Amino acid sequence: MSHSPLLDRNRAPTDTEQRFNIALKQATDFVASLEPTLTIVFYPDHVNGFFYNLLPAFCIGVEGYSIGDYGTVAGKLDIPEALAMSCVSSVLAQGVDAALSYRMNVDHGAVQPVELLSNGRDISRLIPVFINCAAAPRPTFARVHALGSAVGAWARSCPERVLIVASGGLSHDPPVPALATATPEVRAHLIDGGALEHAQRMARQIRAHQLGYQLGAGTSGLLPLNPEWDRKMLDAFAAGDLAQLDEIADEDITATGGRGAHEIRSWFAALAALGPDYRADVLFYEAINEWITGMGILTARAA
């Protein structure tokens, strides 16, 4: 499902929010009906937990912490260490070079959907799987498929009832800095990382809130949302077609869907984890300017 840091702050049109909330309730009911005992969440970072000082394409959290941005709950995550390490070992044995972390800092990209989907059943016992979507160069879609398939193979061998969650926006163009064009101060943060000061985080969040309304008014300068591209992606997911982006250039995704559209990798990994012939239903899609993203919710079951 899509996430948005503006979900609880910027007001979308009332009827849009009502339709979204109805679909979210359907998704939480679906999750609760599965009675999962473990959640794997594929997610992108927003330059909060991963930086250019050491930037893996993929990383599996063995121990981690929620930083608590945009209203999400901060604190140590409930990650079962032995299971997470087993997942890492299995993925590596299957030929996918994923890093591991005992100090994974996780932002709203992973935590928000877990919190939203826990309304019917607590799914916070989890293993976070980071996919680098924000900082170029990014992993290819073929390798994302391989990661998802490897995690899925491990999940099928796991004695737990495993729920797989994908968290990532569809088309959206948030003001994410790029190393090549960053100011010296921003460049230093992109490389060295570290927690933002309170005032810095407030300024970042206030700017995002303002951009949401400016996007709707056509005054933001951000690339407009692209419902046509979003629908194409969702149709591909529903049809089980996960190969169509294998050869696409990252520059084309940026130009078509925006800088945030690279988060589509999370959806691909999760669906690849289900294996071929899964069955999927799109519960919701609308381009919501106030939330700066195409918001989609899709449920799927393995065949």
Output the pTM of the full model.
0.95
β partners of residue 281 = 299
Cβ–Cβ < 8 Å for 122, 190: no
Cβ–Cβ < 8 Å for 285, 2: no
Cβ–Cβ < 8 Å for 166, 92: no
Count of other CB atoms within 10 angstroms of residue 223: 18
- Whole-Å CA distances, 186 to 8, 182, 275: 27, 6, 40
Q: At 33, phi and psi to the nearest 5?
A: -65, -25
The pLDDT score that the predictor gives to residue 172 is 95
pLDDT in tens, 129-177: 999 999 999 999 999 999 999 999 999 999 999 999 999 989 999 878 8
Whole-number Å distance between alpha carbons of 148 and 248: 19
Q: At 300, phi and psi to the nearest 5?
A: -150, 150
List, in sequence order, the alpha helices (H) in 180-243: 184-192, 198-217, 227-239
Q: What is the pLDDT along the chain (303 residues), one digit of tens a residue?
A: 999 989 888 899 999 999 999 999 999 999 999 999 999 999 999 999 999 999 999 999 999 999 999 899 999 999 999 999 999 999 999 999 999 999 999 999 999 999 999 999 999 999 999 999 999 999 999 999 999 999 999 999 999 999 999 999 899 998 788 888 899 988 999 999 887 788 888 888 888 888 888 888 888 888 999 999 999 999 999 999 888 777 788 999 999 999 999 999 999 999 999 998 999 999 999 999 999 999 999 999 998
Q: What is the secondary structure of 143-164 as a DSSP string?
A: HHHHHHHHHHHHHHHSSS-EEE
Whole-number Å distance between alpha carbons of 37 and 297: 22
- Whole-Å CA distances, 229 to 84, 226, 235, 298: 35, 5, 10, 16
Kind plus residue range of the DSSP H or E element containing 97: none
Whole-number Å distance between alpha carbons of 131 and 58: 5
Q: Both tokens of residue 155?
A: 């999940």
Whole-number Å distance between alpha carbons of 143 and 126: 23
Q: Which residues are catalytic?
A: 108, 172
Cβ–Cβ < 8 Å for 297, 24: yes
The pLDDT score that the predictor gives to residue 243 is 82
Pairing of strands 279-288, 293-301: antiparallel
